[in-house]
Chains A and B, each alone.
Chain A
Amino acid sequence: NAGVMQNPRHLVRRRGQEARLRCSPMKGHSHVYWYRQLPEEGLKFMVYLQKENIIDESGMPKERFSAEFPKEGPSILRIQQVVRGDSAAYFCASSRQGALYEQYFGPGTRLTVT
């Protein structure tokens, strides 16, 4: 049973470009969470999605960031017009049904904005 998969593992973007990060949850999991980790810090919640629904986006910056989890395919975290401050590790986690179940983390995507 494959774990949570994220790609790419490393992504380099110039300022002003767009970054797309993908996350495929574990088999049987229908809930996806995105977290951001700045260097030397803990993980900060960004958004919680179910298939075709955003459940909680209270941790998402109001501009440039969006997330989706379509009926088919992986969840996508999209960052438009990236800035240097967006450089971080972005982790995706999945769970079976949401709030009551343990989250399993993917390997992360390390975004570097030059």
Chain B
Amino acid sequence: ELKVEQNPLFLSMQEGKNYTIYCNYSTTSDRLYWYRQDPGKSLESLFVLLSNGAVKQEGRLMASLDTKARLSTLHITAAVHDLSATYFCAVDGRGQFYFGTGTSLTVIP
């Protein structure tokens, strides 16, 4: 079974700081997705990374994919309170998505 690990599991950061969330997965896959989930809500798609070396940016978030290292990163720049949420990475394993455990991010003033 494909395993997806995220770290850290919990992240508390001050506004204005930078940080990176890591997502490692166990077998070959060329497609990786990042989602955001607010408490009690569904998943909101953030990024779709479809090839090795893919980098995508939206606002203060930037995601990258290294398929050879089986690693994706989600970098947060100059965090603001609105980014507080749980972030999941998911790897496409032939039809089903395998989700990481999630990173619960809290941005404090």
Contact = CB atoms under 8 A, between A and B. Distances in A.
In the complex, which of the residues A33, A45, A48, A58 has the most CB atoms of chain B within 10 Å of its own CB atom? Answer: A45
Interface residues of B, number: 20
B42 A42 contact: no
Interface residues of A, number: 24
B25 interface: no
By DSSP majority rule, is chain A's interface helix, strand, loop, or mixed?
strand
B96 A33 contact: yes
B45 A59 contact: no
Contacts, number: 51
B22 interface: no
A104 B94 contact: no
A74 B33 CA distance: 26
Interface string A4-34: 0000000000000000000000000000010
Interface stretch (B13-21, B65-73, B76-84, B98-106): B98-106
Contacts of A59: 96
Interface of A: 33, 35, 41-45, 48, 55-56, 58-59, 91, 93, 98-99, 102-108, 110
27 contacts: A33-B95, A35-B97, A35-B99, A41-B101, A42-B88, A42-B102, A43-B90, A43-B99, A45-B96, A45-B98, A48-B95, A56-B95, A56-B96, A58-B96, A93-B97, A99-B92, A99-B94, A99-B95, A102-B45, A104-B45, A105-B42, A105-B43, A107-B41, A107-B42, A108-B41, A108-B42, A110-B40
